[in-house]
């Protein structure tokens, strides 16, 4: 149990110490007019208080990720505590901060636009496709589970529940942000926090024993920790999905100094929530074997329900139902909203439409495939979300790295985690069953070779920048 408390302390200390260092490296300026005021009145721009923005950001980036992902990651044992803490502080929170602050500095630009500016047009074209596909997959994957639960608890059929959820999705994705998201999402964000804190408190005072950290791999099926854990636990450590959500809130900040609270802080909060659920999964079921049996019997949702109702009684049951229904829905609708915003940027120079015609043009290509994919088995969809998600995260870290390099700042705060995540995605895709399914040794060898090529590119970029004698002052072009 001592490791659990130390991990929480480290996450909080990471926000205070390393978060401050990252903010100083970026260089905030509260005299800059934020997009919320520069474009006030637009459907996606509206000044919100930082605490409201933080809760919305937490809900947008979290959903069921830090709960389901934490339970699946806990199958590897307390070794996951290392990844949750280190990944959150040095990779995930940095990723979220730069995706949000770069968007803010570029008038609320979407993730692909930032990639194009700092990694070039070819990469922008590639990431446009990958990001929109990720949004569609997330929206579809986060509908099937809630729809199934609604169908089991109400007279509604599964198909009716799906259409009802999609009707809400359209409203939330098309209405001004302050109409729905700005009003009710802070409340849902507070529910997510309350649920995690309640579980943590009940767990500490229960008879269950939270295991101390160890490097041993305790997965019942002996799946390798590297690189499987880094993809399994994504939302609780680093997730590319967050880079598509941060621009939504970047368009609502009142001043730049709020960025650390909203972007870095929300990721730290998600790391704490993930840590709590990972610990709960291992402790409540008496180890990874018991946890695997619980997941096999009722899926992650069944495990969440059993933990919640056993530790918190009726309240836990209500929270579990709210979590399994509301959290994925509130992630799915913002996924559609961000994909709509990406498409709007993509077609803005190609068409002369504005207002409602542009909204319809950009929402239809997203809604239809998401609706069709939602009929497919959830577990099948989720396998393809994982690697795509971490690929997007890797590209975002390289984007932040190039921004810092060109600005003559400490680019290693993004470059080091970017190299780490490059190794993860290059290794995972060759080993994973949804990838090439190659033998582990061969997959790791190919992944290492590809990583060395990327490292060589990084070194070349550094040398080229130093040879120029002066770095591009990117702030002047903003």
Average pLDDT over all residues of the chain: 86
Q: Could you tell me if 401 and 414 are in contact, meaning their C-beta atoms sit under 8 angstroms apart?
A: yes
What's residue 368's pLDDT?
77
pLDDT by residue for the chain (478 residues), tens only, comes to 788 999 999 999 999 999 999 999 999 999 999 999 988 777 788 899 999 999 889 988 887 778 888 999 999 999 999 999 999 999 999 999 999 999 999 999 988 899 999 999 899 888 988 888 888 888 777 777 677 777 777 888 888 988 888 888 777 777 776 677 777 778 888 888 888 888 899 988 888 888 888 889 999 998 999 999 999 998 889 999 899 889 999 999 999 999 999 999 999 999 999 999 999 999 999 999 999 999 898 878 788 888 888 888 888 878 777 777 777 787 777 777 777 777 777 766 555 545 555 555 556 677 778 778 777 766 666 667 888 999 999 999 999 999 999 999 999 999 999 999 999 999 999 999 888 999 999 999 999 999 999 999 999 999 998 877 544 444 444 4
Query: Which helix (H) or strand (E) segment is 154 a member of?
Result: none
Count how many domains the chain has.
1
Q: Mark 186-212 as b/e (b = at least 16 C-beta within 10 Å).
A: bebbebbbebbebbbebbeeeebebbe
- pLDDT digits over 131-187, tens only? 888 888 887 777 776 777 777 778 888 889 888 888 887 777 777 766 777 777 788
- Please answer whether residues 209 and 2 qualify as being in contact, where contact means their C-beta atoms are separated by less than 8 angstroms: no
Comparing CA positions, the residue from 383, 333, 421, 428 lying closest to residue 92 is 421
Whether 275 maps to a domain, the answer reads yes
Left, alpha or beta for 89 (phi > 0: left; psi -120 to 50: alpha)?
alpha
Assigned domain for 153 exists: yes
**136: containing domain:** 2-385
Q: 378 in a domain, yes or no?
A: yes
Q: What is the CATH number of the domain that holds 21?
A: 1.20.1740.10
What's the confidence (pLDDT) of residue 187?
81
pLDDT given at position 268: 97
Give the closest residue to 134 by CA, choosing from 382, 396, 445, 472: 382
SS (H, E, C) 302-341: HHHHHHHHHHHHHHHHHHHHHHHHHHHHHHHHHHHHHHHH
Give the number of other Cβ atoms within 10 Å of residue 286's Cβ: 12
**CB of 271 closer than 8 Å to CB of 11:** yes
Within a domain: residue 330? yes
Tokens encoding 285: 């079921």
447: in domain = no
What pLDDT, on the 0 to 100 scale, is given for residue 254? Answer: 95
Cis peptide before 76 (omega within 30 of 0): no
Identify whether 55 is part of a domain.
yes
Distance, in Å, from the CA atom of 334 to the CA atom of 326, rounded to the nearest integer, reads 13
End-to-end, the C-alpha distance of the chain in Å comes to 48
Sign for the pseudo-dihedral over CA of 57, 58, 64, 66: positive
Please check whether residue 404 lies inside any domain of the structure: no
pLDDT of residue 178: 67
What sign results for the dihedral spanned by CA atoms 262, 186, 281, 437? negative
List of E strands, 141-186: none
Whether 222 is in a domain gets the answer yes
């Amino acid at each position: 149990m001592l490791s659990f408390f130390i991990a929480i302390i480290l996450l909080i200390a990471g926000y205070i110490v390393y978060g401050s260092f990252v903010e100083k490296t970026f260089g905030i300026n509260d005299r800059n007019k934020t997009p919320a005021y520069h474009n006030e009145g637009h459907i996606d721009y509206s000044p919100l208080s930082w605490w409201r923005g933080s809760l919305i950001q937490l809900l947008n980036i979290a959903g069921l990720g830090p709960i389901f992902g934490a339970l699946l990651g806990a199958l590897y044992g307390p070794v996951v505590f290392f990844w949750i803490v280190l990944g959150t502080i040095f990779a995930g929170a940095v990723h979220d901060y730069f995706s949000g602050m770069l968007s803010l500095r570029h008038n609320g630009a979407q993730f692909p636009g930032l990639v194009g500016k700092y990694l070039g047009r070819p990469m922008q074209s590639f990431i446009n496709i990958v990001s929109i596909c990720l949004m569609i997959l997330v929206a579809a994957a986060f509908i099937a589970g809630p729809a199934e639960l609604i169908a089991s608890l109400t007279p509604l059929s599964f198909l009716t529940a799906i259409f009802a959820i999609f009707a809400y999705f359209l409203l939330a994705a098309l209405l001004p942000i302050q109409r729905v998201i700005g009003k009710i999402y802070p409340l849902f964000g507070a529910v997510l926090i309350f649920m995690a804190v309640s579980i943590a408190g009940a767990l500490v005072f229960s008879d269950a024993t939270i295991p101390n950290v160890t490097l041993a791999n305790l997965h019942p099926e002996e799946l390798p920790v590297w690189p499987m854990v880094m993809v399994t636990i994504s939302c609780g450590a680093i997730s590319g999905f967050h880079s598509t959500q941060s621009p939504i809130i970047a368009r609502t900040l009142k001043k730049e100094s709020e960025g650390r609270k909203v972007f870095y802080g929300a990721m730290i909060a998600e790391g704490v929530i993930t840590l709590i659920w990972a610990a709960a999964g291992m402790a409540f079921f008496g180890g990874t074997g018991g946890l695997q049996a619980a997941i096999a019997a009722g899926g992650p949702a069944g495990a969440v329900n059993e933990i919640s109702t056993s530790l918190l009684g009726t309240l836990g049951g209500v929270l579990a139902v709210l979590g399994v229904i509301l959290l994925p829905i509130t992630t799915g609708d913002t996924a559609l909203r961000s994909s709509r915003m990406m498409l709007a940027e993509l077609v803005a120079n190609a068409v002369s439409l504005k207002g409602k015609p542009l909204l319809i043009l950009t929402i239809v290509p997203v809604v239809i495939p998401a609706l069709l994919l939602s009929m497919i088995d959830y577990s099948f969809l989720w396998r393809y979300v994982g690697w795509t998600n971490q690929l997007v995260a890797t590209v975002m870290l390289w984007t932040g790295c190039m921004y810092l390099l060109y600005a003559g700042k400490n680019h290693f705060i993004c470059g080091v985690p970017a190299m780490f995540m490059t190794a993860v995605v290059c290794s995972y895709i060759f080993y994973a069953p949804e990838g090439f399914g190659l033998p582990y040794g061969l997959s790791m060898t190919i992944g290492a070779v590809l990583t060395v090529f990327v490292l060589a590119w990084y070194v070349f970029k550094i040398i080229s920048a130093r040879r120029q004698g002066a770095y591009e002052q990117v702030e002047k072009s903003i």
